[in-house]
Amino acid sequence: MNDTSRAYDVVVLGAGPAGENVADRTSAAGLTSVIVENELLGGECSFWACEPSKALLRPVVARADARRVPGLRRAVEGPLDVPAVFAQRDKMAVYWKDDDQVDWLKSVSVDLVRGHGRLDGPRQVVVETGNGETVRLTARHAVCVATGTVTAFPDLQGLEAIRPWTNRDATSARHVPDRLAVVGGGVVAVEMATAYQALGSRVTMLVRGNKGLLNRMEPFAGEMVADALREAGAELRFGTSVTGVVRENGPESPVRITLDDGNSLVADEILFATGRAPHTADIGLETVGLTPGGWLHVDESFRVTDVPDGWLYAVGDVNHRALMTHQGKYQARIAGAVIGARAKSEPLDDGRWGAHAPTADGAAVPQVVFSDPEVTSVGLTTQEAQRTGRRVDVVDYDIGRVAGAAQYADGYRGTARVLIDADHKNVVGVTFVGPGTPELLYSATVAITGEMPVDRLWHAVPAFPTISEVWLRILETYRDRTDKDT
């Protein structure tokens, strides 16, 4: 066995989007940086989540939109071309090769060590490579953990033996199962149910609770998505838990699923979309006094709070602040700038990257669910405002009444909800449900992040006829209500 040792200013564990951005920013700050990755550079998002899942969903949503446009309905009456959809999915996942990412790392002067990296005491990382070599990396200034999450499975006897689908299996599948059971009611469950129902599966969703789909969002969002899934032919069962799974006739046979109400059903594949767990079980956390398999708690500069001397950082899903790719990249940009500034004993808020504090991690986290209809949200929901005691005015508007929506689709169905702080008169929460609404999300994010007063929003004029004119209608509704109250 060959052992080598190397020293860098910064060592990054995990080469997903968050890890890559940390290494990029620390390298740009003049620090020597290395990234450790055991799988593909680009991580979950590039190869098993965001990119391939949206490639599967894009033709589904595009066909749904086309069916709502007079003159196009007949052209899209037939089924989707599954081989073509899968081929585009493969292209968007770069055929599960990371050559371009390797070239990019070289272009930003970041070294790469492939293998399984583990912490081995303060500022130490040991990497077991695939060729039997052990590489010891010493970090002069910081180690940053960006290992992300893995599927959180329920405790079910025999689950591993049936080889259930995770999001990875669903987004990289080579076939469309005739019958697909989807366990869960969150974003992954909704998106994959939407995709596979449209691709030809008979989908049954098994949702443990009775709060509906997408229960962390405004209730009307989940209700509208549930209605659309049922219209597409999917079966939704709420208040239902899986108590047993078995492939009775061998590894390629269908799955018999036993439910807590005594009933059962049979599916060709079963997808568990039951949440995420931190990917920290085998990265040496115990060597620095942390619990393997736990979330890493961080301060506002993404330093891990339970480790002395401030050398360990964590960005992305692994810190449990906001489990979305764009938020992980946002955190990484801040952490990289902070590490660079601290290494040089410079002021943290020096203007080069903006204020070094994750102001958008709580107040303005944007999210899109690429279902049919699409769901977009940023900021507070009504339930969150009520729970925290924040006084808000809730303004709802039927997006279908906007001229741009009528142009977009015949019989457009959509709902907008905007929460306005009752004391400060600025937008603090937005939810849009309807075709084309993801393109409205950035304007909502800017309004919330910038704490823009409603009086100023009147001067942000939406173009006619576009769906964005819903902003004007919301302001008019709010004004009329306010005038009546006074």
CATH code: domain of residue 216: 3.50.50.60
What pLDDT shows up at residue 148? 97
Contact 315, 328 (CB under 8 A): yes
As given in the structure block, the two tokens for residue 164 are 């259930």
Of 163-172, 305-314, 353-362, the poorest mean pLDDT is in: 353-362
Please state, in angstroms and rounded to a whole number, the distance separating the CA atoms of residues 397 and 471. 9
* Pair 101, 209 in one domain: no
Host H or E run for residue 337: helix 325-343
* Pair 384, 415 in one domain: yes
* Pair 264, 137 in one domain: no
Kindly indicate the confidence band of residue 308, based on its pLDDT and cuts at 50, 70 and 90.
very high
Q: Taking residues 260-282, what's their average pLDDT?
A: 96
Overall domain count for the chain: 3
Q: Kindly report, residue by residue over 434-478, the tens digit of the pLDDT.
A: 999 999 999 999 999 999 999 999 999 999 999 999 999 999 999
Closest by CA to 398, choosing from 371, 434, 346, is: 434
Please calculate the CA angle 454-437-91 and round it to the nearest 5 degrees. Answer: 140
Domain contains 70: no
* Pair 24, 135 in one domain: yes
pTM for the predicted model, two decimal places: 0.92
Q: Kindly report, residue by residue over 130-187, the tens digit of the pLDDT.
A: 888 999 999 999 999 999 999 999 999 999 999 999 999 999 999 999 999 999 999 9
What pLDDT shows up at residue 360? 65
Q: Which residue's entry shows tokens 């059903």?
A: 265
Please state, in angstroms and rounded to a whole number, the distance separating the CA atoms of residues 442 and 98. 30
Q: Which residue's entry shows tokens 């891990």?
A: 304
What pLDDT shows up at residue 358? 61
280: amino acid identity, one letter: T
Q: Rounded to whole angstroms, what are the CA distances from 217 to 120, 185, 433, 436?
A: 41, 12, 11, 18
Kindly indicate the confidence band of residue 357, based on its pLDDT and cuts at 50, 70 and 90.
low
* Pair 319, 284 in one domain: yes
Q: Is the pLDDT of residue 118 over 70?
A: yes
Burial of 49 (0-12, 13-18, 19+ CB in 10 A): buried
Closest by CA to 418, choosing from 436, 439, 399, is: 399
What pLDDT shows up at residue 362? 72
% of the chain surpassing 90 pLDDT: 91
Q: Rounded to whole angstroms, what are the CA distances from 73 to 69, 77, 80, 290, 411?
A: 6, 6, 14, 58, 13
Q: Is the pLDDT of residue 349 over 60?
A: no
What pLDDT shows up at residue 64? 95
Kindly indicate the confidence band of residue 347, based on its pLDDT and cuts at 50, 70 and 90.
low
Q: Is the pLDDT of residue 367 over 50?
A: yes
What pLDDT shows up at residue 130? 83
Please state, in angstroms and rounded to a whole number, the distance separating the CA atoms of residues 236 and 218. 19
What pLDDT shows up at residue 86? 98
What pLDDT shows up at residue 359? 62
Closest by CA to 85, choosing from 59, 50, 49, 48, is: 59
What is the residue range of 219's domain? Answer: 160-274
What pLDDT shows up at residue 345? 82
Return mean pLDDT, the chain. 94
Cis peptide before 373 (omega within 30 of 0): yes
Start-to-end C-alpha separation, the chain: 80
Closest by CA to 255, choosing from 181, 189, 190, is: 181
Kindly indicate the confidence band of residue 482, based on its pLDDT and cuts at 50, 70 and 90.
confident
* Pair 8, 144 in one domain: yes
What pLDDT shows up at residue 252? 87
Q: Is the pLDDT of residue 352 over 50?
A: no
Domain contains 136: yes
CATH code: domain of residue 475: 3.30.390.30
* Pair 377, 470 in one domain: yes
Q: Kindly report, residue by residue over 228-263, the tens digit of the pLDDT.
A: 999 999 999 999 999 999 998 888 899 999 999 999
* Residue that is last in its domain, among 250, 274, 298: 274
Domain contains 240: yes
Q: Taking residues 47-65, what's their average pLDDT?
A: 96
Q: Kindly report, residue by residue over 178-206, the tens digit of the pLDDT.
A: 999 999 999 999 999 999 999 999 999 99
Domain contains 84: no
Domain contains 75: no
Q: Is the pLDDT of residue 386 over 90?
A: yes
What pLDDT shows up at residue 453? 93
* Residue that is last in its domain, among 343, 359, 384: 343
* Pair 16, 136 in one domain: yes
Domain contains 87: no
Please state, in angstroms and rounded to a whole number, the distance separating the CA atoms of residues 122 and 294. 18
* Pair 252, 285 in one domain: no
Kindly indicate the confidence band of residue 67, based on its pLDDT and cuts at 50, 70 and 90.
very high
Q: Taking residues 411-426, what's their average pLDDT?
A: 96
* Pair 298, 410 in one domain: no
User: Which phi and psi (to 5°) does residue 293 adopt?
Assistant: 85, 0
Please state, in angstroms and rounded to a whole number, the distance separating the CA atoms of residues 49 and 32. 30
Q: Kindly report, residue by residue over 70-87, the tens digit of the pLDDT.
A: 999 899 989 999 999 999
